[in-house]
Amino acid sequence: MKTRAARMRFFFFLNSFALLLLCLLVTPTSATAPHVKKTTPVPVQAAAAATPEQSVKSETKTAISHAQKKRDSVQVSRDDRRKVIRHGKVKISERDMELLARLVYAEGRGEPYEGQVAIAAVVLNRVASSQFPDTVREVIFAPNAFSPVRNGQLSTKTNESARRAVADAVKGKDPTNGSLYFFNPATATSEWIWSRPQTVVIGNHRFAR
């Protein structure tokens, strides 16, 4: 009996020891740090660009940039495009010609047709001269250059005669022989204008260099 009891105690002890050993092997005896997957750092700017708000702004900026490039590639409209005339010395657009016709109408609507051509020729001669601005608009609106502009009475109207006079002057017709000035002796008050070398008298105007 003792031998059988001893054997049972031995097997019980052995089973207990085996169970303890199994528990030690299965259960970790120390905590380990979790494994962290290494990733490439994302730049701050790139991360910010990934946000919805920044993405919208980026797309908007890109669209504006494309629109700007497209607008810059568009040529100037036909009305504003200046062409070289009068032996390459003057550039004028159709809009300039219309403005010049308004001045001719304001200054010379009571003058003979040749006098209207002469007024347009004076403006073009000034554009070609180094003494004056190099565009029709700048010449016409120069301070104290023409009385209708100075008095704020530059007409918004014109007529066929004034337009034809401008067209003839643009083609090279110049009854003034290269004059840069004209004045009406009945109304001129400037002593300086009388000192200029006079070239021709057409209608009520005298032309001078």
Both tokens assigned to 106: 């304001």
**Interatomic CA distance for residues 176 and 8, integer angstroms:** 143
**Has residue 73 been placed in a domain?**
no
| pLDDT for res 85 | 55
**Has residue 135 been placed in a domain?**
yes
| pLDDT for res 189 | 87
Place of tokens 């057409």: 202
Three-state secondary structure call for residue 100:
helix
> Tell me, what CATH number does 154's domain have?
1.10.10.2520
pTM (predicted TM-score): 0.60
Length in residues, the chain: 209
**Has residue 50 been placed in a domain?**
no
Task: Give 92-147 pLDDT, tens digit per residue.
Answer: 899 999 999 999 999 998 999 999 999 999 999 999 999 999 899 999 999 999 99
The total number of structural domains in the chain stands at 1
- DSSP character for 159? -
**Has residue 100 been placed in a domain?**
yes
pLDDT at 65 over 80: no
**Has residue 94 been placed in a domain?**
yes
Task: Give 158-182 pLDDT, tens digit per residue.
Answer: 999 999 999 999 999 999 999 999 9
Residue type, 147: S
**Has residue 150 been placed in a domain?**
yes
**Interatomic CA distance for residues 104 and 154, integer angstroms:** 10
Is the CB of residue 202 less than 8 Å from the CB of residue 122? no
Place of tokens 């409209």: 77
Both tokens assigned to 59: 């797309």
Show the domain range for 139.
Answer: 83-177
